[in-house]
Amino acid sequence: MKLIDISQPLGPGTAVWPGDRPVSLEWTMRRRDGDSVNVAALSLSVHAGTHVDGSLHVDDDGVAAGSLPLSAFVGPAVVVDARGRAALDADTLDGVDLAGAPRVLLRTRAASDATTFPQRFAALTPALARRLVALGVPLVGTDAPSVDPVDSTSLDVHRILAAGGVVNVENLVLDDVVPGRYTFIGLPLRLVDADSAPLRAVLVAEREDETITAG
């Protein structure tokens, strides 16, 4: 069994959505200063790094991220290589084995850089969102900062997925993952009344040859 970490590292250098609160980590107690322990304090947007959106993100009456069903975050997943597409339309899933309606993870970029917000990225189209809902997948993830286009204000894809019961995870790191089937594990923080929540996401590969090494 091989565990593959597919979550972004979080720290002061982590890029956030333009205008959002940056990640800040500072020490409130240090042993070197005479304290008995080291204690760090963290300040960040709930959208920093790898995170899940609750429907509260786009709906004032929606579900907070900490109240989403945990069953969506553990189980079979398929990694789809969608690099080279300007947008992820319904045909992105053509030819992909979706037996058992697994979680769908979309690799859209050649390489991820957690320290730089991408100027362009491939977002899902409403047609693909509707196809995912129709397939009954519990979760869709992307290595992009959003499932919607960067300039979207209506956030149609977020709304379609939320209404259809599909959880969406953003800012995954899929650089070193061979397309195929895995087990996904990525539990969000149990935040109260927050629209989104960071999560530590991993894939479980049953064979060593299901992974590749960067470089």
Q: Nearest CA to 122 among 133, 136, 106, 137?
A: 106
Neighbours of 79 (CB within 10 A): 26
Mind giving me the DSSP string for the chain? Answer: -EEEE-B---STT---STTSPPPEEEEEE-GGGT-SS-EEEEE--TTSSSEEE-GGGT-TTS--GGGS-GGGGEEEEEEEE-TT-SEE-GGGGTT---TT--EEEEE--S---TTS--S--PEEPHHHHHHHHHHT-SEEEESSS-SS-TT-SS-HHHHHHHHTT-EEEESB--TTB-SEEEEEEEEEP--SS-SEEEEEEEEEESSGGGB----
> One of 47, 51, 57, 158 is an active-site residue; which one?
57
Tokens of 192: 């109260």
Widest Cα–Cα separation across the chain: 61
- Concerning whether 57 is annotated as a catalytic residue, the answer is yes
Q: Catalytic residue numbers?
A: 57
